[in-house]
Amino acid sequence: MGKFYQEVLMNGIKDMVFILKVVNDDFRFQFVNTAAMERLNLSNRIIGSSILDIEPKEKGNFLYKQYSQVVESKKSYTYEDIYEESGKKYYAETVLSPFFDEKGAVDQIIAVVRDITQERKALSNAMEMINSLAESNERYHSLFFHNTDGIFVLNKMGYITDGNEASEHITGYKIKELFGKPLKELVDKEDSGNFEHLINEALKGTNQSGDLIFKNKDGQQVNIIFKIIPLLIDEKIIGLYGILKDVTEQIQSINKLEESEKRFRIIAENAHDLITVVNKDGEITYVSPSYKKILGYCNQEYLEKSFLHNVHTEDQERLVEVVSKSIYTGEPFTIQFRQKNAEGNMIWCESIGNPVFNHYNAFQYLVVLTRDITLRREYEAKLKYFAYHDSLTNLPNRLYFKEQFAFAKEQFLTNHTPLALILLDIDHFKQINDNYGHDTGDAVIKEFGARIKAAIRDHDLVARLGGDEFVILLSNIPSSQNALEIAERINQTIRQPWKLNGHTLSVTTSMGIATSSCQQNFTESSLMKKADIALYEAKKSGKNCYKLYDNGNFPSLSS
């Protein structure tokens, strides 16, 4: 990688970054950035070591399992774990990204570790708030007895253990008459199955509600909305609350209660993300205070606006499609898109949305949690660049060349646009290294690559294969004569005077050329082999020249 990008990766990223090489079912450290070394008290001595050698047995086996999943699935993988620093416990989220060799096997794994300790603390604080609310509810237990709604307290078998005065008015029974009896006896026989379903679901820990017909003491039918709520103590269900309420008032109460509970839970657990509530007309009805910190907007500026109003125009149609599908299926969605901040810049965001429905299964509103992933996208782009480019010359590498060759071959088969390869290296490069040192040798390779790039056409590709070996992909090349003209131009460019590191050098190159016209059913491997044979002939002819592979012949060429 280039020095600038290496410096960015080493010192410019606050997250911990590791690059591990996959070696015979093992994972060995190849790179560790400064943030990781400082936080975990590591040094460059771990380079080349296995994670099983560095980490304690239990932690090493855990990490080995996570990295193995990436190798097996060939996909990115995210997990959370805990590590200690200076005796303190920290929580981390790790994203493992695979990078592949030319055979498509996982060759390296990039690990980016993000500290999520503050988010965990926020979650803990939220739970304390919830517990505090539970204590407050106990203090106002007297509301149970004076509530205008009928309330029964049931054990886990559905038997009545208590009730308020309002329940006596609805059923016509005194509470003492109902003690120890199953509430099911008051339900009309036709609704007994529905009643049992509500009870069973509530015992699983969820609030349930439905339309039921009760019969009072006089045998009259009473149409009510019945809501059953688990009674929790220390997160264990010890009984149930059964609430009998007027249909209209109960629906309104349920909607308000559910909306209040869900808003509170989302805000408490995700205080560092953008939280947005969108109604069924697509208008924003609530945004969290974090909008000011992340986007620079006051939360009030978003209210009653379309949820698309600040989204990049190129992403709006895709966002509408994803949201519409989520509402139709009732399933959550995840999407990445761009939106504008207060400074007018487009930033990348990732949103997770959940549609919320009422007890009639009608869509009510959308809750969306959004995170700024601009830096993550930049990291991914840089890592992708490093994976496809040579670190010394910044030219494309072998992996990038293979992908471009595949594309050029598709163009050849579709549009019959011929292509050619020029395989070349530096004559007597070992002598340059031996006589002038590796620093000068590296400088020669960089200048060699730059001169080749300047001599070829804009749409052609030069890649460094390794050492002093380079390859040029000539796409849409009309004839072999055109390839020879480009080779001659390269030769003339290389022969120009060289002055590097205070030395004046004489540098030449040998080239082997192969064209797609040599073989219709060619592959990258077959064409490279022919170019390599031609390169060998050029070297055998005294170097400082080029040879064209022509059906196994090598016509005499001037250079």
Active-site residue list: 468
Residue given tokens 């190849």 in the structure block: 30
User: What is the distance between the alpha carbons of residues 452 and 467, in angstroms, rounded to a whole number?
Assistant: 15
User: What amino acid occupies position 458?
Assistant: D
User: What is the distance between the alpha carbons of residues 450 and 224, in angstroms, rounded to a whole number?
Assistant: 82
Residue 86's Cβ-side half-sphere holds a number of Cα atoms within 13 Å equal to 2
Strand partners, 340: 346
**Which is it for strands 346-357 and 333-340: parallel, antiparallel or unpaired?**
antiparallel
Contact (Cβ atoms closer than 8 angstroms) between residue 426 and residue 441: no
Determine the longest span between alpha carbons in the chain, in angstroms: 115
Packing angle of the helix pair 398-415, 524-540 (nearest 10 deg): 110
Task: Tell me the backbone φ, ψ of residue 60, rounded to 5 degrees.
Answer: -60, -45
∠ CA 382-385-389, rounded to 5°:
145
Question: Which H or E run includes 426?
Answer: strand 419-426
Structure tokens at 388: 């496809």
Is the alpha carbon torsion for 372, 377, 383, 385 positive or negative? negative
**Which is it for strands 274-279 and 284-287: parallel, antiparallel or unpaired?**
antiparallel
User: What amino acid occupies position 118?
Assistant: Q
For residue 451, give Cα distances in angstroms to 420, 455, 461, 471, 485: 19, 6, 13, 13, 16
Question: Which H or E run includes 354?
Answer: strand 346-357
- Would you list the DSSP string of 32-56? E-HHHHHHHT--GGGTT-BHHHHS-
Contact (Cβ atoms closer than 8 angstroms) between residue 90 and residue 82: yes
